[in-house]
Amino acid sequence: MERDEAAYAAGVQAAKADIAAGRLVYRWGGHAGHWGHWIVTQFAERFGVGVSDGFGICFVSRSGRSFDDGYNAVLIAEVNRRHGAGTFEAVLAESRQQSEDALWAAKQAWLAQHPDAEPGAADGTMRFDPMNVSVADELIEALSELRLLFPDWRVGQLVANLVMAAGGTDAGAIWDMEDEPLLAAARRLIDRNRGREASSAEPDAAPDRGGM
């Protein structure tokens, strides 16, 4: 999704105004992912950062995504200024180290506080079993985390880098590539870049030819 520069700039200005007014909100547009509920809970507990109403809503527009990216770039910089460089990104890294029970508990606690967010989930009637997450689902979640680590990347750029990291010779290799090597490459990129500044991180896109 190509960035809407006007919307991005508007997001930057909106974030500056909110921070000046004492409002700290992370604009999460899109699927919550496997770790999302744990992450937003930690944002609130550690930094006093709330989450926007778009959390968990999968349908996002080009301008909406661009606005959120601009807004979040300012918010992340402010959190790191207050709490130390890389503090915000460290939460993303820690989320990958949580047990399935911890992730499930965080989701249930969040849903209990936001009963309208996912009807039926808080009481278990729509229980999602984390042990049955498919490779495709995990790949989508990993892509969401990479988007958080590299908010300035276009989606096409992210996918192209991931294909190369998985051993593709060019971006066109995506057509013949299975989900498993893409997921393995995504996890390597996340591990190698966790804790680094989102605005300056440069992932090592070279594939590990010795094995995935």
- Is the pLDDT at 203 greater than 50, yes or no? no
Which has more confidence, 133 or 115? 115
Residue 128, domain member (yes or no): no
Same domain, 107 and 140: no
Average of per-residue pLDDT across 42-47: 94
Q: Number of folded domains in the chain?
A: 2
For residues 12 and 116, membership in a common domain is answered with yes
Residue 112 neighbours by CB distance under 10 Å: 11
Q: Whole-model pTM? A: 0.57
Task: Look up residue 41 and give its two tokens.
Answer: 């809970």
pLDDT tier for residue 197 given thresholds of 50, 70 and 90 = very low
101 & 157 share domain: no
Number of C-beta neighbours around residue 57 at 10 A: 15
User: Is a pLDDT exceeding 50 seen at residue 170?
Assistant: yes
Could you tell me the CA-to-CA distances from 30 to 54, 68, 125, 138, 166 in Å, in that order? 7, 11, 23, 15, 25
Q: 71 to each of 3, 82, 91, 103, 205, how far by Cα in Å?
A: 13, 17, 19, 27, 27
Kindly state whether residues 31 and 105 are assigned to the same domain: yes
pLDDT of residue 13: 96
Report whether pLDDT(130) > 60. no
Note whether residue 127 is domain-resident. no
Mean pLDDT, range 39-45, rounded to an integer? 93
Q: Within a domain: residue 43?
A: yes
Provide the sign of the torsion angle of the four alpha carbons 121, 98, 146, 184, taken in this order. negative
Same domain? 68 vs 164: no
Q: Tell me whether residue 95 is in a domain.
A: yes
